[in-house]
Structure 1
Amino acid sequence: MSPLPETVPFFSQWETPNMTLAVLADGAEAALRRDPLWQGSGAATLDEYAVWAANVCGMACLKMILAARGEIVPTIELARRCTPYGGYVVDEGSIKGLIYAPFVTFVKAEFGLDAEVMTNVATADIASILGRSRFYIASVSSSIRWPERKPPSKGGHLVLVTAASDEGFRFHNPSGHTSATQANAVLAPAAFDRFFANRGIAVAI
């Protein structure tokens, strides 16, 4: 694996990165109301932060991509800007998203990023995708933070893959619960495959 992706900054989807276990134990809205750093998210209110932060793994991935080229944009600000494009559907406090195709339109229009929705992607294909694009936002089970466990399903969460080879996949996980499962987490391809939903978004910068 190339050493270059290690320079990609890591950002959690929570402003305080070590809150994952509290979120899992107490629920996102209850736990995140205790996040002392919430204002860094770009949310206008604590209520807005508590509702949105559990849904912004994709925006955290985008924040990391933008940071790799020197731009820092808060996650909730990104989500707010993505919503008019259709990237999220908000209905009475319920949030659906990230919706891939509108996200691609959003990042092109707002940031000049070339992105492509990719489905039916075999795990073995990710290395060649990264050969053409700088990043791959992969749909995985959120339980990828516990690679020794069997996931209940695949998909539902997004991680930023920065390097891939026959030896391993390196990725940033916005909801990792320890430093080892957050920035530059590494899994063998067969382990990554157990969580990967065979879809995602390739992004070039």
Structure 2
Amino acid sequence: MTAAPEAVPFFSQWETPDMTMAVLAEGARVALRRDPLWRNSGAATLDEYAVWADNVCGMACLKMILAARGEIVPTLELARRCAEHGGYVVNPEDGSIKGLIYAPFVTFVKEAFGLEARVMTGVATSDIPSLLARSRFFIASVSAGIRWPEREPPRKGGHLVLVTAASQAGFCFHNPSGHDRATQENAVLPPAVFDRFFANRGIAVTI
């Protein structure tokens, strides 16, 4: 299997990483009101945190990328700044959040952090090792069900994970909504299993 890169810190999209099962059972807006660490997110209020945290898997991936070069930025600070660039769109009527929208995200990370990023579509799973040979990271669109690789996902896509290493033997990634340590930090899956969840798109990032 692919060796896990030790220099990439892990961050969950919730401030208390072991709350995933509660979020799945009760919904983020209910469960995350019990998160004792919510202020670490950079949210101004508990309401803001509970609304946004279920939508910031992409910002958690960005936070990990920045942390790999020594910068720690609160997740919701990243989300607000990304929204200013159009990476998220908030519905003023019901507060629902659309995003992550890839193209504005690429502009945001270039302007704010000097990161080189490219939107990638039509990516075959077998292409990911060579893609990572040219880019340091790949933010991959997968089913959130990747936390249970033994199950068949209802669909592909809808969630983002940070792929940090890949070979024909295995893909290593950080999952912002994994439910335990094994499915959160440096999770490793064979390419054929990863392929069942992968939506063939994502964002390549170089630091």
Q: Distance in 2 between matches of 1:100 and 1:112?
A: 16
Q: Determine whether 1:17 maps to 2:31.
A: no
Q: Distance in 1 between matches of 2:157 and 2:5?
A: 23
Q: Distance in 1 between matches of 2:52 and 2:5?
A: 28
**Aligned partner of residue 193 in structure 2, secondary structure:** helix
**Counterpart in the other structure of 2:115:** 113
Q: Distance in 1 between matches of 2:4 and 2:107?
A: 27
| 1:174 counterpart letter in structure 2 | P
State the number of aligned residues: 205
**Counterpart in the other structure of 1:75:** 75
**Counterpart in the other structure of 1:125:** 127
Q: Determine whether 1:185 maps to 2:203.
A: no
Q: Distance in 2 between matches of 1:161 and 1:6?
A: 13
How has the CA–CA distance of structure 1 residues 187 and 3 changed in structure 2, closer, same or farther, with 3 Å as cutoff?
closer
Deviation at 1:6, TM superposition (A): 2.6
User: Can you list the C-alpha shifts for 1:89-116, whole angstroms capped at 9, x where unaligned?
Assistant: 0013110000000000000000000000
Matches within 5 A, 1:99-178: 99-178=101-180
Percent of pairs identical after alignment? 80
Deviation at 1:121, TM superposition (A): 0.1
Q: Determine whether 1:84 maps to 2:84.
A: yes
Q: Distance in 2 between matches of 1:81 and 1:5?
A: 28
Deviation at 1:60, TM superposition (A): 0.1
**Counterpart in the other structure of 1:58:** 58
Q: Distance in 2 between matches of 1:39 and 1:7?
A: 26
Deviation at 1:5, TM superposition (A): 2.3
Q: Distance in 2 between matches of 1:151 and 1:8?
A: 27
Deviation at 1:2, TM superposition (A): 6.5
**Uncovered stretches (5+) of structure 1, i.e. residues with no partner:** none
Alignment TM-score, normalising by the size of structure 2? 0.97
4+ runs deviating over 4 angstroms:
1-4
**Aligned partner of residue 186 in structure 1, secondary structure:** strand
